[in-house]
Amino acid sequence: METVEPVEREGGREYRTEELAEAAGIPVRTLRFYRERKLLPPPRREGRIAWYDEHHLARLRTIAALLDRGHTLGGIAELTAAFEKGRDVGQLGELLGIGGSEETPVRLSPEVLADYFEGEVTPENLAAALDLGYVATDGEAIVHVSRRLLDVSSALVREGVPLSAVLETGRRVREHADALAELFTELISAHLGQEAVTRLRPLAKSVVEAELTMAMDRLHQRP
């Protein structure tokens, strides 16, 4: 049987059904099952041929990552449906668990995300980012939970730090950050009441930033 390569078009690469399944590392029957469950947007039709693009491939990789982390297809379908109801970035932030945060979510195409991290957006790294809650799918796009974290992470990768190491460090930082947040919340609530926590958040941030700076100074000064 003659092998047909993906086609390069003006809007990007396109795949027939068999080609997309091969690129995603899944059987064709699984791809068709995802279509039936509406986990994938419809392909572009050209006569009897269904053409898929890089957005479909990114969605399949996201599904694989979520399944690897123990999510069910039903749960993935609900998440996908929620993201495809035309929510703006602020609403997506609420779905990602940062409603009311100072952080700004960023919507990216899979291609732009790959450019940020210079080819290190592998299925394993995507799974780790999904597990941390750093990214989620939004229709054909990907939403990163924080512009600041995105910029810092990509800067570290450009300096030569592997993305897998950046994500593992992010996981460890998250544990310490949760403990610090709980510490300051308990302190402020105990003495001033729960309503004062939001108002005094900048003070807590200043303490943490100062202590981190001094801790790094101490490490640098060690013989």
Quote the pLDDT of residue 13: 81
Quote the pLDDT of residue 213: 94
**Sign (positive/negative) of CA torsion 172, 136, 67, 55?**
negative
Quote the pLDDT of residue 9: 57
CA dist., res. 167 & res. 173, Å (int):
10
50: region left, alpha or beta (phi > 0 left; psi from -120 to 50 alpha) = beta
Closest of 174, 51, 56 to residue 109, by C-alpha: 56
Quote the pLDDT of residue 1: 37
Quote the pLDDT of residue 101: 57
Quote the pLDDT of residue 106: 84
By DSSP bridging, strand 49-53 and strand 44-46 are antiparallel
Quote the pLDDT of residue 181: 92
pLDDT along the chain (223 residues), means of 10: 51 84 91 87 89 85 74 70 52 47 77 85 83 75 85 93 95 92 94 91 91 92 83
Quote the pLDDT of residue 98: 43
- pTM (global) more than 0.75: no
